């Protein structure tokens, strides 16, 4: 077996993918310091399973990934593959070539291992190479550091190399595993023994409880047998008894229904009789009422007859028929006169009343007219007062210029003594009334600016105000003020915009000489009809001009708005015209006033006349009212006397004829007949009612008897139903007990427990069994199951315990066996190496002797290895006491001795001979050659002597900074490379 190839990519300084081919024999790797030679041995060590970051000369595993250089950026994955020739099957796998790969990712520090490109675990790789001598701790990779460590380390630390040579590592590993297994077994055994102990403690009380529970179960079974039999018997007898009861209840029920039917019929008959009697009573009552009326009628007629007879007798005896007729005729004439007089007075009365009402209406109308006129005069008075006051104000404003500031007033007063004062701008302008408000807001405070002819005139005026402390004023000199107009394009836009009325200067009249001033102040002010249109105009002209509306709202330059209600203007602009209007208005009001007062006077006279006439009418009306009342009463008296005498005359002639008496007699007879018929009818109905009463009494007696019988039946049924309910409850209880206590149906119980029982005896037996059960006290039925469970578990665990004890013994035995093997192998190999060491030492040192010693001969399993040597001509000394070069040569001797005893297929020597002098290097190289038949050597070296023995040479360079490149070189180039390096 030998290493055929190493493939590196991203590992340490091997940034690019590099493939290094090897062959059996000696391969040398040369190159200057730091060019990445030792990174190759690190790569081999890494793939063979090295986990120590320190051994890989890093502080973190990711340090093995190429971390970039000046020109190259870092890589994220490191990957190394070792390809071994395995044709001799030295490695225990059935492949001619074995590839071992290790990968590491920077991002997550995750490692991957592969054998022949198949992913595997690290352990698989370690196991594969375990017996090949290539292991992590084997002699397959030895650095200069290893050599000096070997020489300087303690004997115990040196032991590892000998163990590796003796091949005891795997036994040591197995022993370690066995010890761990033994510990685990012991832990398990302790645990199982603890549980067994615990279970033993539970078992004995559980056993007692289980036995008690079993007695309980036995008694319960006996009780069940007896009690279920008793219940079955009880259920059977109750079922029979209930059947009988149901039959007799059915019979009674039928009888009850029949009787109830009978009672119903009787009751209906009874009701019908009672209804008939009631109807009869009603009829008799009605007849009695009629009888009473008939009797009263008879009585009245008889009384009337007596009275008529007496009256007739009296009138016939006292009245003279001719006198009566004469008086009637006389009264008739009086009555005619009274009627015509009365009608005449009533007519006059109505006429007077109407005239009075007409006068009252006229008086009311006159009063209203006068009130309205007075109110109107009062309003007119107030209006006149206000207008006169306003007139005074305007006169004052015009004459004394009180609307202007103190300064302006001072200038106006002194105007005549000053030069070039044209006037106040407001006084100089005139406009139509509808534009006055717009002009006023367009001018603003400029209404009080004083127009002068020249600039100098203005300056003089200011000086005047200053000298006389007469306030301030603003002046507009005609010669210096500039005209301002709307730009032509803006004017065009305005003319095409809705609501544009014109430019303010077009609406004013003024003296020609102040035209410049007018154009300066008003030539760029737009007049609009409404605020909305004003806003449109302002926007259309980019808010460059002041826009005023007829109502006095203003959109200022820049777009700000002013508006609201305006105070009454006191500007001279409007005051003159207002004064004129006011004077005319006052004149008109005074004329109105005179007319209104004359009219009021007229109405007053009319009112007096109406009052007088009305008084006259009221007096005549009162008199007529009295006359009408008197005439009315006279008429009524005459009328009633006439009627009375007329009636008396008719009666008299009737009496003479006797007609009335005959009628009365007939009427009386008829009334008596009716009375008698009614009396007979009442008698007949009373007899019929009597017969109904008798019939009713008979029915009541029969009903009483039937009802008594029904009550007896009902009582019997109730008793039977109570018995039935009791028995049903008892039956249910029995069934329920069977079901709940014994979980049985009746059918099942009857099948299983139907036996002849003496109920008395059985009940006694039940009592006894219950007593016995009770005397057992608390019973834990669960104990039967628990005991079974715990004892089974105990047995299982006890079994486990015995198994564990057995396993423990086996492990101990195996450890003893392994110890024996290790001791025998270690001591055997040790002796062999010791022997070879002496030989190699003498060869390399040219004489002397060398010896390996156990540091603890009594404990071969753990003893360290000490080295005593005697170079030619020197005393025997421990290895630690020699010079650096000597120590290295002793260590190399030992290494070669080990290789002689236990050859390895491949060995990487990283500058191990660095400390040797030239002669020793040559001896070292010769030894290498001697071993190269059985071991493949890869030597990292700077020494010429070593290079000369190499079969193949690689030169390591860093042509690209920080990135190692390996090229095959000839010996001469290799020496050059090494010399350049030194």
Q: What residues make contact with ligand ATP under the rule CB under 6 A?
A: 12-13, 31, 33-39, 63-67, 956, 962
- Looking at beta carbons only, is 65 or 139 nearer to ligand ATP? 65
Least Cβ distance, residue 167 to ligand ATP (angstroms): 31
Least Cβ distance, residue 55 to ligand ATP (angstroms): 13
- Looking at beta carbons only, is 108 or 568 nearer to ligand ATP? 108
Q: Which ranges of 48-143 does DSSP label H, i.e. alpha helix? A: 122-129
567 by DSSP, 3-state: which?
A: coil
Annotated binding residues, as ranges?
A: 32-39
Least Cβ distance, residue 941 to ligand ATP (angstroms): 10
Least Cβ distance, residue 63 to ligand ATP (angstroms): 5
Spatial separation of the C-alpha atoms in residues 495 and 680, rounded to whole Å: 124
Least Cβ distance, residue 976 to ligand ATP (angstroms): 15
422 by DSSP, 3-state: which?
A: strand
Least Cβ distance, residue 964 to ligand ATP (angstroms): 7
Largest CA distance in the chain: 221
Q: How far is CA 783 from CA 217, 788, 927, in A?
A: 12, 8, 84
- Looking at beta carbons only, is 63 or 609 nearer to ligand ATP? 63
- Looking at beta carbons only, is 34 or 884 nearer to ligand ATP? 34
Least Cβ distance, residue 965 to ligand ATP (angstroms): 12
- Looking at beta carbons only, is 64 or 166 nearer to ligand ATP? 64
75 by DSSP, 3-state: which?
A: coil
Least Cβ distance, residue 38 to ligand ATP (angstroms): 3
Segment holding 2, helix H or strand E:
strand 2-9
Least Cβ distance, residue 192 to ligand ATP (angstroms): 53
Q: How far is CA 629 from CA 17, 602, 633, 645, 914, in A?
A: 156, 42, 7, 25, 176
Q: Are 906 and 134 in contact (CB under 8 A)?
A: yes
Q: Structure tokens of 773?
A: 């059960």
- Looking at beta carbons only, is 528 or 956 nearer to ligand ATP? 956
Q: For residue 808, what are the contacts with CB-CB under 8 A and spacing of at least 6?
A: 182, 185, 186, 189
| Secondary structure (DSSP) of 257-268 | HHHHHHHHHHHH
- Looking at beta carbons only, is 66 or 753 nearer to ligand ATP? 66
Least Cβ distance, residue 78 to ligand ATP (angstroms): 8
- Looking at beta carbons only, is 447 or 977 nearer to ligand ATP? 977
Q: Tell the burial category of 364 from Cβ atoms under 10 Å away from its Cβ (0-12, 13-18, 19+).
A: exposed
Rg (CA), the chain: 78
Q: How far is CA 436 from CA 205, 423, 498, 568, 902, in A?
A: 127, 19, 22, 12, 133
Spatial separation of the C-alpha atoms in residues 897 and 621, rounded to whole Å: 179
- Looking at beta carbons only, is 79 or 427 nearer to ligand ATP? 79
Q: Are 895 and 875 in contact (CB under 8 A)?
A: no
Helix count and strand count (H, E) for the chain:
22, 25
Least Cβ distance, residue 942 to ligand ATP (angstroms): 7
| φ and ψ of 810, to 5 deg | -65, -45
| Secondary structure (DSSP) of 848-894 | -EEEEEES-TT-TTT--EEEEEE-TTS--EEGGGS-HHHHHHHHHHH
Q: For residue 315, what are the contacts with CB-CB under 8 A and spacing of at least 6?
A: 651, 652, 655
70 by DSSP, 3-state: which?
A: coil
- Looking at beta carbons only, is 33 or 496 nearer to ligand ATP? 33
- Looking at beta carbons only, is 74 or 581 nearer to ligand ATP? 74
Residue 423, phi-psi category: left (phi > 0), alpha (psi -120 to 50), beta (remainder): left
- Looking at beta carbons only, is 451 or 966 nearer to ligand ATP? 966
Pairing of strands 450-452, 421-424: antiparallel
Beta carbons within 10 angstroms of residue 382's beta carbon: 10
| φ and ψ of 142, to 5 deg | -130, 125
Least Cβ distance, residue 45 to ligand ATP (angstroms): 12
Segment holding 924, helix H or strand E:
helix 918-931
Q: Tell the burial category of 555 from Cβ atoms under 10 Å away from its Cβ (0-12, 13-18, 19+).
A: buried
- Looking at beta carbons only, is 33 or 758 nearer to ligand ATP? 33
- Looking at beta carbons only, is 39 or 178 nearer to ligand ATP? 39
| Secondary structure (DSSP) of 317-358 | HH--HHHHHHHHHHHHHHHHHHHHHHHHHHHHHHHHHHHHHH
Residue 477 bridge partners (DSSP):
452
Spatial separation of the C-alpha atoms in residues 654 and 816, rounded to whole Å: 178
Annotated binding residues for ATP, as ranges?
A: 32-39
Least Cβ distance, residue 153 to ligand ATP (angstroms): 22
Least Cβ distance, residue 4 to ligand ATP (angstroms): 22
| Secondary structure (DSSP) of 503-542 | EGGGGEE--GGGHHHHHHHHTTEEEESSHHHHHHHHHHTT
- Looking at beta carbons only, is 716 or 976 nearer to ligand ATP? 976
Spatial separation of the C-alpha atoms in residues 560 and 538, rounded to whole Å: 10
Least Cβ distance, residue 131 to ligand ATP (angstroms): 30
């Amino acid at each position: 077996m030998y290493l055929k190839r190493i493939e590196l990519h991203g590992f340490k300084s091997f940034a690019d993918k590099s493939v290094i081919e090897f062959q059996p024999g000696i391969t040398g790797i040369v190159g200057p310091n730091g060019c990445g030679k030792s990174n190759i041995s690190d790569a081999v060590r890494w793939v063979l399973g090295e986990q120590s970051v320190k051994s890989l000369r890093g502080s973190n595993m990711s340090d093995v990934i190429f971390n970039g250089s000046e020109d190259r950026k870092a890589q994220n994955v490191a990957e190394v593959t070792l390809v071994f020739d395995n044709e001799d099957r030295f490695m225990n796998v059935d492949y001619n070539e074995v590839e071992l790969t290790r990968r590491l990712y920077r991002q997550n520090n995750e490692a991957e291992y592969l054998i022949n490109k198949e992913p595997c675990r690290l352990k698989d790789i370690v196991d594969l190479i375990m017996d090949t001598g290539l292991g992590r701790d084997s002699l397959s990779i030895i650095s200069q550091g290893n050599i000096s460590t070997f020489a300087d380390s303690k004997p115990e630390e040196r032991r590892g190399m000998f163990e590796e040579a003796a091949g005891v590592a795997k036994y040591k590993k197995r022993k370690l595993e066995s010890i761990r297994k033994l510990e685990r077994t012991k832990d398990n055994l302790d645990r199982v023994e603890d549980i067994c102990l615990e279970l033993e403690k539970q078992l004995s009380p559980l056993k007692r409880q289980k036995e008690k529970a079993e007695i309980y179960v036995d008694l319960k079974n006996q009780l069940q047998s007896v009690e279920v039999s008793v219940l079955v018997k009880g259920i059977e007898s109750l079922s029979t008894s209930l059947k009988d009861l149901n039959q007799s209840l059915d019979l009674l029920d039928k009888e009850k229904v029949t009787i109830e039917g009978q009672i119903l019929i009787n009751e209906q008959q009874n009701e019908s009789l009672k209804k008939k009697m009631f109807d009869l009573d009603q009829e008799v009552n009605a007849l009695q009422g009629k009888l009473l009326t008939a009797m009263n009628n008879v009585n009245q007629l008889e009384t009337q007859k007596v009275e008529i007879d007496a009256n007739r007798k009296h009138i016939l005896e006292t009245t003279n028929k001719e006198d009566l007729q004469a008086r009637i005729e006389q009264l008739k004439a009086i009555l005619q006169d009274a009627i015509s007089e009365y009608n005449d007075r009533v007519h006059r009365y109505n006429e007077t009343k109407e005239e009075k009402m007409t006068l009252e209406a006229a008086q009311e109308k006159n009063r209203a007219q006068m009130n309205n006129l007075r109110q109107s005069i009062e309003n007119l008075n107030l209006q006149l007062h206000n207008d006169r006051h306003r007139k005074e104000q305007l006169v004052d404003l015009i004459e004394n210029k009180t609307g202007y500031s103190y300064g302006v007033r001072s200038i106006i007063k002194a105007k005549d003594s000053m030069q070039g004062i044209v006037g106040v701008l407001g006084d100089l302008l005139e406009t139509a009334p509808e534009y006055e408000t717009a002009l006023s807001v367009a001018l603003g405070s400029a209404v009080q600016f004083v127009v002068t002819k020249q600039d100098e005139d203005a300056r003089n005026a200011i000086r005047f105000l200053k000298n006389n402390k007469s306030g301030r004023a603003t002046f507009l000199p005609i010669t210096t003020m500039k005209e301002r107009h709307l730009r032509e394009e803006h004017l065009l836009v305005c003319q095409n915009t809705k609501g544009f009325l014109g430019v303010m200067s077009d609406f004013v009249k003024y003296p020609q000489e102040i035209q410049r001033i007018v154009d300066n102040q008003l030539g760029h002010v737009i007049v609009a009809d409404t605020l909305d249109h004003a806003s449109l105009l302002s926007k259309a002209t980019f808010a460059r001009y002041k826009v005023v509306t007829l109502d006095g709202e203003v959109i200022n330059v820049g777009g700000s708005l002013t508006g609201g209600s305006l105070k009454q203007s006191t500007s001279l602009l409007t005051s003159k015209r207002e004064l004129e209007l006011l004077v005319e208005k006052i004149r008109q009001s005074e004329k109105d006033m005179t007319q209104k007062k004359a009219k009021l006077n007229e109405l007053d006279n009319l009112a007096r006349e109406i009052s007088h006439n009305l008084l006259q009418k009221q007096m005549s009306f009162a008199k007529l009212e009295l006359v009408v009342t008197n005439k009315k009463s006279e008429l009524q008296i005459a009328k009633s006397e006439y009627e009375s005498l007329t009636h008396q005359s008719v009666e008299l002639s009737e009496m003479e004829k006797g007609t009335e008496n005959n009628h009365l007699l007939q009427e009386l007879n008829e009334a008596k007949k009716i009375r008698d018929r009614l009396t007979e009818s009442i008698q007949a109905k009373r007899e019929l009612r009597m017969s109904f009463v008798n019939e009713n009494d008979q029915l009541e007696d029969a009903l009483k008897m039937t009802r008594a019988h029904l009550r007896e039946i009902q009582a019997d049924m109730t008793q039977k139903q109570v018995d039935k309910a009791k028995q049903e409850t008892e039956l249910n209880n029995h069934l329920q007990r069977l079901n709940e206590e014994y979980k049985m149906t009746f059918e099942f119980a009857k099948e299983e427990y139907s036996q002849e029982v003496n109920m008395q005896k059985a009940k006694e037996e039940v009592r006894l069994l219950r007593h016995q059960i009770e005397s057992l006290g608390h019973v834990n039925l669960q104990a039967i199951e628990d005991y079974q469970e715990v004892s089974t578990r105990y047995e299982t665990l006890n079994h486990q315990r015995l198994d564990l004890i057995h396993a423990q013994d086996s492990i101990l035995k195996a450890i003893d066996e392994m110890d024996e093997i290790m001791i025998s192998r270690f001591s055997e190999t040790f002796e062999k190496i010791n022997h070879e060491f002496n030989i190699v030492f003498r060869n390399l040192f040219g004489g002397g002797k060398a010896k390996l010693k156990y540091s603890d001969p009594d404990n071969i399993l753990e003893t360290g290895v000490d080295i005593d040597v005697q170079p030619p001509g020197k005393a025997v000394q421990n290895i630690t006491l020699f010079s650096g070069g000597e120590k290295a040569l002793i260590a190399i001797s030992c290494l070669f001795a080990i290789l002689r005893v236990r050859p390895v297929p491949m060995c990487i020597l990283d500058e191990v001979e660095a400390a040797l002098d030239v002669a020793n290097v040559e001896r070292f190289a010769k030894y290498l050659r001697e071993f190269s038949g059985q071991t493949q050597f890869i030597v990292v070296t700077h020494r010429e002597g070593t290079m000369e023995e190499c079969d193949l040479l690689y030169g390591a360079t860093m042509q690209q900074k920080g990135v190692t490149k390996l090229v095959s070189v000839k010996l001469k180039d290799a020496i050059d490379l090494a010399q350049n390096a030194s």
